Structure 1
Amino acid sequence: MKEGEVVMFVYKINAAMTVAAIKMIYQATAFDKDLTVPRLATMLAHIPLTVSAWQGKQLIGFARYLTDFEYSAYLSDLAVLPAYQRQGIGRHLLKIGCDYLGCRVTIALRAAPTAKTYYPQVGFTACDHLFRLPRAIQLPVNKLPSITVTAQAKISGQQLAQIFQAAGLRRPVHDLGRLQRMLNNATFIYTAWQGTELVGIARGFTDGAYVGYIADLAVAKSFQRQGIGRQLLAQIRRDLGPQISLLLLAASEAMTYYPQLSFQQDANGFTQLRQW
């Protein structure tokens, strides 16, 4: 096989991949994962978007995304077998994924330290707004007076627009269809209520095995500084379990907030920003 022969590879979106094939690639690329079959199977069952590269019937690389297909995405893995690296396969996997998600979605990722020079070459920009809550850190769950936090409530795109506006978050609040799809495609939605009034929300995605990404954390301004955001995050952490690492992109005004909740600013964050 000659270097640069990318034409011999086939790229597929959401093609079936086996646990054995995924595990082989993780092992070959020294990914830091607990590679038990149940966790890998859970991961594969809960990924909304994968792009894979094949040589014949052999899986040689893949990218997997957690996303709502409307506003936010997290690239949780990009892996190519060592024998096939430096042939443009990773670049093709990223381009296909980015094209599929389109210009409406911001893609965030946490690069391996050895890959920090790679992602700027493929359209990503270094970002210091990525924060991570490591698996080992738990957040205390404390009941708040007069506030109920639940993962069971169903809300509408109109309600989501209202809480975004009340919190001062820049979101596509005039596109209710898009907001509804953001809700429909989320893995988890936690809401905070005072009586029947929606006062806070946390929305995001998880593969159920390794990583969770918080796409939105919004609390109405009149209810801020009461611990509601902390409570939303604490219940997500509790329910997802200690095996999940939580990540998020912080707004500029929240850069000092997340370290107070044990989130660590990550030096390896990259983004490709949405255009609208």
Structure 2
Amino acid sequence: MFVYKINATMTVAAIKTIYQATAFDKDLTTLRLATMLAQTPLTVSAWQGKQLIGFARYLTDFEYSAYLSDLAVLPAYQRQGIGRHLLKIGHDYLGCRVTITLRAAPTAKTYYPQVGFTACDHLFRLPRAIQLSVNKLSSITVTAQTKISGQQLAQVFQAAGLRRPIYDLGRLQRMLNNATFIYTAWQGTELVGIARDFTDGAYVGYIADLAVAKSFQRQGIGRQLLAQIRCDLGPQISLVLLAAPAAMTYYPQLSFQQDANGFTQPRQW
């Protein structure tokens, strides 16, 4: 009988065993794995007795977006529905107002449609080795130090023309509070852009939002926000995002690569 747990303590050794058994493409140094575990806000794990046999790992704000970074089950326990149960528990815990995004391994592309995910063509990825060059704008200040309110976030979303729950200020505030990093762009005292990021500090960063007010677009502000994220997170972390339809041609200009292995489980509201 298998037992499933949310945010149970998992050791680096147990995680490493599963990664090695399932041939995950990761640098499995102890420090990076420990950092990853410490900074992952949601895990769902499967156990047989005291043995960890599988887990799902999510980066999320618990309000609007989630990135399923890993789904791994020991080979001896595969094809027994464990992965499906891990995903269902994760989905139920996050609720119907969170979109879950993932980048599937090529061998798993036929699996995710069987468990409720839909293939998408608007997942983009900036590989670890690629840096973003930028000419900093003298009139724009980009910072990760300035706190903003849900009201300010609503205003910049509206000014950028993004579809977000701008009338639910409590939800927007929780989206801010539960992000790993909030990068803001200012012209004087005017907030003109924002980037919202979740990261495990070791392998991946998910850009949940990139928004620049329409009157300030085409000036390089979005590039500057993303370049600051890349600089701060470092070259060991890949960046992933879902592009809005209008931005499909924008991200390749910044060296993001369109990924054919993207899947989503959309929110209901």
1:145: Cα distance to partner?
A: 2.2
What TM-score, normalized to structure 1?
0.97
Which digits, 9 at most, give the CA deviation of each residue in 1:173-221, with x for residues without a partner?
0000000000000001100000000000000100000000000000000
Give unmatched runs, 5+ long, in structure 1.
1-7
Counting aligned pairs with the same residue, the percent is: 93
SS at the partner of 1:246?
strand
1:140: Cα distance to partner?
A: 1.5
Q: Distance in 2 between matches of 1:233 and 1:262?
A: 11
SS at the partner of 1:267?
coil
SS at the partner of 1:44?
helix
- Please give the root-mean-square deviation of Cα atoms over the aligned residues, in Å: 0.4
Which digits, 9 at most, give the CA deviation of each residue in 1:87-139, with x for residues without a partner?
00000000000000000000000000000000000000000010000001000
Corresponding position of 2:237: 244
Q: Is the 8 A contact 1:141 1:235 kept in 2?
A: no
SS at the partner of 2:154?
helix
1:141: Cα distance to partner?
A: 3.8
SS at the partner of 1:15?
coil
Q: Is the 8 A contact 1:120 1:126 kept in 2?
A: yes
What TM-score, normalized to structure 2?
1.00
Q: Distance in 2 between matches of 1:155 and 1:209?
A: 26
SS at the partner of 1:65?
strand
Which digits, 9 at most, give the CA deviation of each residue in 1:1-21, with x for residues without a partner?
xxxxxxx00000000000000
Which digits, 9 at most, give the CA deviation of each residue in 1:45-102, with x for residues without a partner?
0000000000000000000000000000000000000000000000000000000000
Q: Does 1:109 align with 2:102?
A: yes
1:143: Cα distance to partner?
A: 1.6
Corresponding position of 2:128: 135
Q: Distance in 1 between matches of 2:173 and 2:184?
A: 15
Deviates more, 1:134-143 or 1:263-272: 134-143
Which digits, 9 at most, give the CA deviation of each residue in 1:210-248, with x for residues without a partner?
000000000000000000000000000000000000000
Q: Distance in 2 between matches of 1:72 and 1:223?
A: 26
The count of aligned residue pairs is 269
Map 1:9-88 to 2 at 5 A: 9-88=2-81
Q: Distance in 2 between matches of 1:181 and 1:46?
A: 18
Which digits, 9 at most, give the CA deviation of each residue in 1:242-275, with x for residues without a partner?
0000000000000000000000000000000000
After superposing on structure 2, the runs of 4+ consecutive aligned residues of structure 1 that deviate more than 4 Å are: none
Deviates more, 1:135-144 or 1:186-195: 135-144
Q: Distance in 1 between matches of 2:138 and 2:255?
A: 23
SS at the partner of 2:142?
strand
Q: Distance in 1 between matches of 2:136 and 2:124?
A: 25
SS at the partner of 1:160?
helix
1:30: Cα distance to partner?
A: 0.1
SS at the partner of 2:135?
coil
